[in-house]
Every structure is written in structure tokens, then in C-alpha cells.
Amino acid sequence: MISTVGTGGVRISSYLRLPYTVETLLRRRRLFTSCSASSTKEKVIVISGPTGAGKSKLALELAKRLNGEIISADSVQVYRGLDVGSAKPSFDERKEVVHHLVDILHPSEEYSVGQFFEDARQTTRDILDRGCVPIVAGGTGLYLRWFIYGRPDVPKASREIAAEVDSELASLQNDEDWNAAVQLLVKAGDPGAQSLSANDWYRLRRRLEIVKSTGIPPSAFEVPYNSFREQLVSGQIDAADVNSSADKLQQNEIKDLDYDFLCYFLSTNRIDLYRSIDFRCEDMLLGKRLMKFL
């Protein structure tokens, strides 16, 4: 791996040298990676990119070469039966390499980013404890963001609070009175409710739960990802600053990552990407014998 050290010890790697098909795959794609500051920590590989960029193929090849196991970071692959369009690993691929968080829920069950965080982190720890390499692969950005940087320190609503919120919003949602629901949230203490996308009842409900549980709006809670982004944009603390300021040292330690995340974002030109997606769709439809209905 060819890498440079950026601000605050965050490594930026521009090329990954691997033999055979994996190297060919990576040569075809522009690759940007970023990792945590410490190379002494346990390593976790994270692969992301747009649909059709080759995330699953790269993850599979790496897992076979590195004694790895794959953790899916895809919000659709968790559901059983939703196979067409989700690009789930095949039965043979799952026999060849262990895949986690695939086909674990019925489509009627809810699965939040918070649940993914808990499941993926627990699975990562288990994989490392068994001496294997965790490889997190998927395109659900929020899942990956929470997995790497941590979850916001926002309390989960009690059953009583959740029931109260459901009761207050039930009639408004049935009447499709979105504006009234927004005003309800504003009056409860969250002026940022005006910025919600219209009819995003899930987020409105969650924000109302937070306000009722804590007395403060969600914006008052620090988002770990934003803290790291601010460090990178402003220029993290360098060695000279750390040696001269205990306060800055403490701040830098608090915002450091717990694993050494080796993060790869796969990309390619738009024409090749669209062609790859077209071929994938045809394969999915033919594999499910649906082409005759088109």
C-alpha cells in the first residue's frame, strides 16, 4: 500500500497493490482511502462506493486472501426475500466466505441505523477475537458513518415516551397534516423541524421523542462524524501543538478512532458504471426468471 500521512496522523492511501483479479479491479477504478491515526490498533477494512463499482467483488477477494469475513453495510440486504435489486452475495459466495447481516430480518421488521451500529460493532469484535479480518462492505452511507465514527449520544425513548408520541402524531399522519405535525414539534422545542423533508414522518417522530425525552432538540447533541470532519477541515493538531498543550492532547485523544479503519471508496467513469449496472440488472432478472414478464 502506498500512503502518505495527513493532518493529525490520518493516513491517505492512493493505491492498493494486490495480485491477479483484485489488482486489475483496483487499477480500473479511482481509489481514495482514509484511515484512523494509529497503525498499532486492530485493523478493520471498509469498502464503499456507488452501485456497480465492484464493492462486493473486492470484499470477496480480500476475504479469501486475508482470512476475512464480510459484514454487509446495506440497508436492503438485511431483509430476507428482497433479492432482486439488492445484489446479495450468492449462495456459493456465502459458502466460500462468511457473510454477516444478510437475510437476518423479515421485510415487515424495522431495522434502524442504531441497530446496525450495535450488530456490526459486536460482529466486528467477534471476528477480531477469532483472529480473522473484518471487511465491512456496502453503500449505505449513514451505516458506514456511524460504524466508523460512532453513534450520537442520544438516548433511546422509553416505551412511555414512544407511546405518547405515537398518540400525538397518529391523527395528524392519518389526515396527512404534515404542517401541523411540524408545528407540534416546533412548539415542543425543536425549531429545526422546519428543515425536515415533507412527509418524513419517521424522522419527525424520532425528533419529537428526543425532545420529550431530554428537553432539548437533536441539534444540541454532538455528532461524532461532524467532530472528525471539523478536525480535518480546520487542520488537526500536529505534533508540536500536542506537545505544548495538554488540553489539545486530551481533545485529540477523545476524537481518535477506536480501530485502524482502512477505508476504500471505489469509483469509475459514469459510462462504465451505468453499463455495469445494466448488466447487473439483466443478470438479476434472468436469474429470477422475470425477464419473460418484461
Assigned architecture for domain 2-153+223-293: 3-Layer(aba) Sandwich (3.40)
Flag whether pLDDT at 228 surpasses 70.
no
Dump pLDDT digits (tens) for 30-42: 444 445 455 688 9
Burial grade of 6 (CB within 10 A; 0-12, 13-18, 19 or more) = middle
Residue 153 backbone phi and psi in degrees, to 5: -85, 60
Across all residues in the chain, what is the average pLDDT?
A: 78
pTM of the model: 0.69
Flag whether pLDDT at 276 surpasses 50.
yes
Flag whether pLDDT at 137 surpasses 70.
yes
Q: CA-to-CA distance for 76 and 107, rounded, in angstroms?
A: 9
Q: Determine how β-strand 260-267 pairs with β-strand 30-34.
A: antiparallel
What letter represents residue 89's amino acid? P
Rg over CA atoms, the chain:
22
Q: What is the mean pLDDT of residues 46-61?
A: 88
Dump pLDDT digits (tens) for 249-272: 344 444 578 899 999 988 877 787
Dump pLDDT digits (tens) for 79-131: 998 876 677 888 899 999 999 999 999 999 989 898 999 999 999 999 999 99
Flag whether pLDDT at 26 surpasses 60.
no
Q: CA-to-CA distance for 62 and 57, rounded, in angstroms?
A: 9
Residue % of the chain over a pLDDT of 90 = 49
What letter represents residue 281's amino acid? C
From first CA to last CA, the distance across the chain in angstroms is 46
**pLDDT band of 245, cuts 50, 70, 90:** very low
The residues spanned by each domain of the chain are 2-153+223-293, 159-220
The C-alpha cell that represents 108 in the structure block = 415487515
Crossing angle for the helix pair 141-149 and 113-129, nearest 10 degrees?
A: 60
Q: Concatenate the DSSP letters of all residues of 150-210 into one string.
A: -----PPPPHHHHHHHHHHHHHHHHTT-HHHHHHHHHHHT-GGGGGSPTT-HHHHHHHHHH
Q: Beta partners for 69? A: 134
Lowest mean pLDDT among 12-21, 144-153, 180-189: 12-21
